[in-house]
Each structure stands twice: as C-alpha cells, then as structure tokens.
Amino acid sequence: MDNNLEFVSDLRTVVGRLIKKLRKESSTAQQLSMTERSTLSLLNQYQVMLPSELAAMEKITNQSMSEILRHLLELGYIIRTASETDKRKVNISLSAAGEKTLLQMRNERDRWLAKAIAGTCTPKEQELLKQAIAILTKIVEFE
C-alpha cells in the first residue's frame, strides 16, 4: 500500500509540474488569469452560457464571474447578448478575438510540448506516452 501511495504522489507531482510548465510556455496565456483562461475554454466548448452557469462551473461567486467577464469584454474576447426568451438575462459567447486568443494559447503550449517530447523521449517512449493518454483519460473521467 505504501508503494502505491508513493507512486500516486509521484504521478500527482509530475502532472502538476507539467501543468505549471505548460502555463508558463504560453506568453498569450500569461496575460490572463487561470479562471479567465478556463472561462474562455468553457465558452468555446458550450458556445453560449449564462454568467451564472459559468460561475457555477468555475466554482466561484456570481460577483467574481462578473469581474472576469467585465475584463474579458474589455479585451474584446467575449460578446454579451440579451436572451431572446428572458430580457433580464445575458448570454455570453466567444468573440472572434477570443477564439483566436484561445487557439493561440493552445498552439503555443502544444508547440512547446511537442518540442519537449521530441527532444527528450525516444520513439519507444513517445509510443508509451500515446498509450498513456487513454489511461489518463479514464482517470480524469472517474467520479
């Protein structure tokens, strides 16, 4: 059991370090907070969301989400439109500039990761990493 906990701790540590490293490898991403980046990703995934839905998914208060959306609107990364069904509600979606910025962040990170893998891993290790993706996906989806 102790060996298993040590393995789990090592895995958690190295995954955390990789995530931190990837965050630093995007100059575009460094201009936004982690929650702002995550909000852009959610809008890309779901297309249109209410501020309260974004706040719930980010596990922050509606007031905090309002500040994040205000900043993203100032940057031109989101579009606010009145709801067709309830004029009191506002729908949030990504603007073209928001989509471009999100894609640029992802590309910067992907380029760095591809370069790091090519520079440090043998072809056999690269194949093992490809196989590990399915395993890691199962872990991420565990409830």
Q: What is the pLDDT of residues 46-76, one digit of tens each?
A: 999 999 999 999 999 999 999 999 999 999 9
Q: Give 33's contacts (C-beta < 8 A, 6+ positions apart).
A: 68
Q: What is the pLDDT of residues 23-50, one digit of tens each?
A: 888 888 888 998 999 999 999 999 999 9
Asked if residue 74 and residue 44 are part of one domain, the reply reads yes
Asked if residue 104 and residue 136 are part of one domain, the reply reads yes
Asked if residue 118 and residue 89 are part of one domain, the reply reads no
Measured CA to CA, the distance from residue 28 to residue 19 in angstroms comes to 16
Asked if residue 88 and residue 62 are part of one domain, the reply reads yes
Q: Give 64's contacts (C-beta < 8 A, 6+ positions apart).
A: 35, 55
Asked if residue 117 and residue 80 are part of one domain, the reply reads no
Asked if residue 107 and residue 85 are part of one domain, the reply reads no
Asked if residue 109 and residue 70 are part of one domain, the reply reads no
Strand partners, 48: 93
Domain with 74 in it: 33-94
Q: What local confidence, expressed as pLDDT, does residue 1 receive?
A: 53
Asked if residue 109 and residue 84 are part of one domain, the reply reads no
pTM of the model: 0.80
Q: Exposed (0-12), middle (13-18) or buried (19+): which is 72, by Cβ within 10 Å? A: buried
Q: CATH number of the domain that 68 lies in?
A: 1.10.10.10
Asked if residue 58 and residue 46 are part of one domain, the reply reads yes
36 contacts 68 by C-beta, under 8 angstroms:
yes
